[in-house]
Amino acid sequence: MALLMISETGALHEALKHHFGFDAFRPLQENIVADVLAGRDVFALLPTGGGKSLCYQLPALLSDGLTVVISPLIALMKDQVDGLTTAGIPATFLNSSIGLDDVRERMRGLDEGRYQLLYVAPERLTLSGFAADLARWNVVRFAVDEAHCISEWGHDFRPEYRRIAELRTQFPTLPFIALTATATDRVREDILERLALRDPRVYVASFNRPNLTYRVAHKNKAAESLVRWIAARPDEAGIVYAQSRASAESLAERLNAAGIAALPYHAGLDARVRSRHQEKFLRDDVRVICATVAFGMGIDKSNVRFVVHYDIPKNIEGYYQETGRAGRDGLPAECLLYFSHADVNKYERFISEKTDPAERAVAREQLQKMTRYAYANTCRRRELLSYFGETTASDDCGGCDNCLDPRPTIDATVAAQKFLSCIVRIRESRGGEFGVTHIIDVLLGAYNEKIERWSHQNLSTYGIGTELDRRGWRHLADELIRLQLIAQDADRYNVASLTDAGRRALVDRTPIEIHQPSVPPGKARKSRAVEAPDAAYDTDLYGVLRSVRKELADERDVPAYIIFSDAVLRTMAREAPQTPAQLLAISGVGDKKLADFGARFLAAIAAAR
């Protein structure tokens, strides 16, 4: 394996600027690249947007041979190769999306040594004769992207990833680099073991994404709220995650009816339709994709300005990875989660149907941690990072709703006493056990078949709660659950009961304070957690540059962000470069892109002045 002597020539920084247009490495990148070039096994856990791809792409350019990248999704491969090709880097992919003639041509190019990077899916590793092909192509290393897929303890386990370990036997001398954006300590250890990494250098970056603002809103008339929220961001692209295919479809319809271009994406759509919808979103032909979790892993679209979870995710890892698709360019982005305990109950029912007790216990623990995050009245970033074992120095991140807009506390002792007492009275009368919704019905004095059948209209607590509406009681119930004064039994239809602490609070009339409910957020608000690098740029010029970028992207049949990211365009709009040298000085503008696109952008800037 012939490598450039980077310690003597300084080729590393020169190649970084020449090919990728960057003047400096992101945290840990330089050390990772140096270890990869030295032929070591490497494990790198970098947050989404932290520059994982460059950790194997740059070494590939500085090596005499082929770097094979194992990637889980066809869309990711195409995205990466489009970006590399646009930057003048010889790369290709082999997967089921290309025809036989294209496969033959690419195989011929690999035989002739025309490529430095090859992207393949893990399934291809099992094809007859592929190991012989790899042996013929002067492979110098393997890079395993989305490496958490190899662990059954991860949130996105893929059995086919287990076959990757066979490469270690077939190519015992070649180094491996494993990369992921989300992995707990347990998943991390599993990756190292499953890939049989040898004395690996392990790099774990901070999970903190300071440019992201996290918010949780009570799920009340959420579809209307969502439309208003996105309409207040007219030039921004984003992803809306929904639990079901039907929700993804209906939300896309609601947005389109409001004049917001949106498309659905889920596993129930024909593969060609899914691919077309994804392509339209990547190319800015629609600005919102409404999707199930089937969408997103490996999507490189850098200008996603918001990610909305319309339903609560099943676990923190999935939530972190999905929110991480916002703000990959480093510019401010927003993450909004709509929360209701009804969604939690729905997942609880799914979990209770699992036949494996161990699997049921793990799923329930993951959901409880996700629920605790949604309930949190303290810094959400702190709560999120603590899940991954990371601590923060401050209790105020300046970039979540609880830090930016702390909700005041209110004395809820009287209402809480009524709620707790109602649970006791219901259980004492004929031994019945009921969920929160029925308890609220009794407090509000509702009259329905269940109340009549159990004679609950005769309880002393019947109708004593008219000072709150149904939403107010639901919020109080959620707070009492958060305070661990009441519990719900997921295996018995979420029947509610008092905990020991709840019984003591009822008997001792303990003062109980709760936070006021969250309200759906309005217009975008700058986070204090990150200095917005786009604070002072010419918005009119930025609009012109976006149009130029879209024209160039359409001409080349690639997504717009492949040409330049939003961050690069905003820097152009702020600095208004007039010469090629001034344009090249902007981070993100490399020699190849300057040669291909520089004249068009400089002409647009000159015409707009």
Full domain range(s) for residue 100? 2-204
Average model confidence (pLDDT) for the chain?
A: 88
Whether 2 shows a pLDDT value over 60: the answer reads: no
Alpha helix locations (H) across 232-269? 245-257
| Cα distance between residue 494 and residue 487, in whole Å | 9
Segments of 481-525 assigned E as strands: 486-489, 495-498, 513-515
Do 491 and 342 fall within a single domain?
A: no
Do 235 and 383 fall within a single domain?
A: yes
Rounded to two decimals, what is the model's pTM? 0.81
- Kind and range of the H or E run holding 118: strand 117-120
> Quick count: other Cβ atoms within 10 Å of Cβ 68?
24
pLDDT digits 0-9 by tens, 285-321: 999 999 987 676 556 788 899 999 999 998 898 899 8
Residue 216 lies in a domain: yes
* Total structural domains within the chain: 4
Tokens of 72: 């889980």
| Cα distance between residue 515 and residue 372, in whole Å | 14
Do 430 and 484 fall within a single domain?
A: yes
Do 200 and 231 fall within a single domain?
A: no
Task: Provide the 3-class DSSP secondary structure of residue 142.
Answer: strand
Q: Which of 204, 232, 265 is the last residue of a domain?
A: 204
Q: Exposure of 248 by Cβ count < 10 A (0-12 exposed, 13-18 middle, 19+ buried)?
A: buried
| Cα distance between residue 81 and residue 70, in whole Å | 13
| Cα distance between residue 446 and residue 250, in whole Å | 31
Q: For a pLDDT cut of 90, what percent of the chain falls above it?
A: 54
Do 506 and 393 fall within a single domain?
A: no
In 3D space, the residue among 153, 3, 22 whose CA is nearest the CA of residue 591 turns out to be 22
Q: What is the pLDDT of residue 158?
A: 77
Residue 531 lies in a domain: no
pLDDT digits 0-9 by tens, 356-379: 888 888 888 888 889 889 988 889
Tokens of 138: 């002067």
Cα–Cα separations (whole angstroms), residue 355 to 170, 191, 239, 361: 38, 27, 33, 11
Residue 522 lies in a domain: no
Do 309 and 326 fall within a single domain?
A: yes
Buried b (16+ CB within 10 A) or exposed e, 469-498: eeeebbbbbbbbbbbebbbbebeeebbbeb
Q: Which of 406, 431, 456 is the last residue of a domain?
A: 406
pLDDT digits 0-9 by tens, 30-51: 999 999 999 999 999 998 777 8
Q: Domain of 356: which CATH number?
A: 3.40.50.300
Average pLDDT value for residue range 75-91: 87
Do 357 and 414 fall within a single domain?
A: no
**What's phi and psi for 239, nearest 5 deg?**
-120, 135
pLDDT digits 0-9 by tens, 169-227: 899 999 999 999 877 788 889 999 999 899 999 999 988 999 999 999 988 889 999 99
Do 145 and 219 fall within a single domain?
A: no
Q: For a pLDDT cut of 70, what percent of the chain falls above it?
A: 93
Do 402 and 416 fall within a single domain?
A: no
Average pLDDT value for residue range 497-522: 86
Q: What is the pLDDT of residue 541?
A: 95
Q: Which of 382, 406, 430 is the last residue of a domain?
A: 406
Do 139 and 279 fall within a single domain?
A: no
pLDDT digits 0-9 by tens, 229-254: 999 999 899 999 999 999 999 999 99
Q: What is the pLDDT of residue 375?
A: 84
* Amino acid letter for position 506: L
| Cα distance between residue 159 and residue 250, in whole Å | 33
